[in-house]
Amino acid sequence: MRMMKVAIVDDEEDIRQSISQWLALSGFDTESFACAEDALKVIGADWPGAVITDIRMPGMDGMAFLKRLMGLDSGLPVIMITGHGDVPMAVEAMRLGAMDFMEKPFNPDRMTELAKRATQARRMTLDARALRRDLGEGTKVMGKLIGTSAQMERLREDVLDIAQSDGHVLLDGETGTGKTLVAHALHAAGTRAGKKFVTISCAAYTEDALGERLFGPVAEGGGLPLVEEARGGTLVLEDIEALSSGLQARLLTLLNEQGSPAETRIVAICNAHGEGRMLEDLLRPDLYFRLAAHKITLPPLRARGEDVLTLFTRMAEQFADDYGCDAPEVSAQEAAQLLQAPWPGNVRQLINVAERAVLQARRGQGSIASLLMAESDELGAAMTTEGKPLKEYVESFEKMLIDNTMRRHKGSIAAVMEELCLPRRTLNEKMAKYGLSRADYT
C-alpha cells in the first residue's frame, strides 16, 4: 500500500515541531517546511499525501500557496491553520479548494482526524489516477484489435472480461490471427497492467536452455529466470505445444505452488492449430486444464467479412505515411478480390500485402490483384472461401469508399458529397446504415 505523507508548512518552528511530533505519534510520516517557497520545491502533482499550512506567513502567504498547489494538482488535500481573526479567510480558502481548516490553538485529536481523512482521500485519488492510466494503456492496446464483425466484437468482450480475472489463459487460432496482440491486451486491460509482461517462445530453445531460462539457475550475469522476472505480472509462453514432458511437469509444479489466485498469470499460446494435432494430446491433461481456465480461439481473417477491407485500408494508410506517399486507391473489383481471398496467413499476410501495395503504387505499377495472385502461389491454395451474394460485396465496398473519403477530408461532409457526387440526405442515410459517424473523423 502506498505510504501517505503530511507536509507541514509554517514559519514558526515550535508550531511545525508540535504538529510533526503529534502526527508522528499517531503513525503519520511528516515532512516540515519553514516557508511555502521551500515546500513548492518538493510538492508537486501526484504528491503522495496531504498538506497542512498556516495562512499568515512572510513571503508567500497561505492563500497564495493554496492557489499554487491547486494549480499543480487540484486533487491535493490542503488543511489551513488559522488564527481567530482568519476564519473568514479560511472559508474563502475552502471555496478555492482547501479541504478544511483548524483554528489556533488547535485540538490535537481534531488535527489527527483531519490528517487521517485527508490522507485517505489522497490515497483514493492517486489509486484512481493509476487505474485510469492503466485503463488508458489497455484502451490503446484494445484499439489495435480492429474490426466491426461479430467475431471481433465478441473477441474484445472476451478479452475485457477475462482481463479482470486471475485465471490462466490459453490462446488458440491460426497463424497470423493476432494471438500475441491479444496476450498484450489481456495484460494491459487487467489488474496487472502496471506489472511485468514477459514473453518467451518455447520452440526457440533446446529443452535444457529453455528450462534454465524459465526456472533457473541462469548463468552468471544472465539475469533472473523468467518465472521470477514475471512474478506478480504476466508470463506469456508462445508455442506451448513445444514444451517437453519434463518442463511441463516443472510448470505444473509452479502453478500448484502459486495457489489461487495465481501470483503470476500464465498466458499460453498454441501455434499448432490446423496441423492435425490437438493441444489436449500434446500437453499432459492436468497442465492443459490448468492453462485453459480461460480459452480464446481467435477467428481467421476469412471469417471476418468486411473487416478485411477495414484492416487493409488502415494498414495501407499507415504504410503510406511511413513511405511519404499516397495510399493506393482500391477499386470495386479489387475490394471484391480482397474479400474473397482465403488469407491463410491471416492478418499478418494482409499487412504484408498492404505494404507491398503501397510500395508498388508509389512506383506507379502493379495491382492488388497481382499481389493476391502472387501470395496465393507462394502460400498454396490450402484454403478456399465460400462465395457471397453480390449485394454484400457492393455494401462492403461502399462502406470502405465512404470511410476512406471521410478520413481523407477529415470529416468534411461538403467535400465528401462533392467527391462522391452524393446529396446530403443520401450520404447521411448511408453513413447511418454502415455505422459511420462524422465525429470519428474530425
What single DSSP character describes residue 439? G
Q: Which residue has the cell 512572510?
A: 58
Domain 138-299 is in which class?
Answer: alpha beta
pLDDT at 388 > cutoff 60: no
Q: What average pLDDT does the segment 183-201 reach? A: 89
- CATH placement of domain 4-134: 3.40.50.2300
Cell readout for 22 is 503529534
Q: Are 90 and 98 in contact (CB under 8 A)?
A: yes
Helix (H) or strand (E) holding 374: helix 368-379
In 3-state terms, what secondary structure has residue 423? coil
| CA pair distance 124, 79, nearest whole angstrom | 17
Confidence of residue 392 (pLDDT cuts 50, 70, 90): low
Q: Which amino acid type is present at position 385?
A: T
The structure's pTM equals 0.58
For domain 302-381, the CATH architecture is Orthogonal Bundle (1.10)
The reply to whether domains 4-134 and 138-299 share a CATH topology is yes
From the list 299, 315, 303, the residue with the least C-alpha distance to 368 is 315
Helix (H) or strand (E) holding 200: strand 197-201
Q: Which residues of 185-219 are buried (b: 16+ CB within 10 A; e: fewer)?
A: bbbbbbebbebbbbbbebeeeeeeebbbbbbeeee
State the helix-helix crossing angle for 332-340 and 390-408, rounded to 10 degrees: 120
Domain boundary assignment for the chain: 4-134, 138-299, 302-381, 390-440
Strand pairing of 169-172 and 294-297? parallel
Q: Any residues with CB less than 8 A from the CB of 229 and at least 6 apart, and which?
A: 196, 198, 223
Note the pLDDT tens digit of each residue in 217-248.
Answer: 766 556 688 999 899 999 999 999 999 999 99
Cell readout for 156 is 474484445
Q: How many helices (H) and strands (E) does the chain have?
A: 19, 10
Other C-beta atoms closer than 10 Å to the C-beta of 225 total 16
**What confidence score (pLDDT) does residue 138 get?**
57
Instruction: Give whichever of 83-87, 237-241, 254-258, 398-402 has the largest mean pLDDT.
Output: 237-241
**What confidence score (pLDDT) does residue 386 get?**
46
Other C-beta atoms closer than 10 Å to the C-beta of 88 total 9
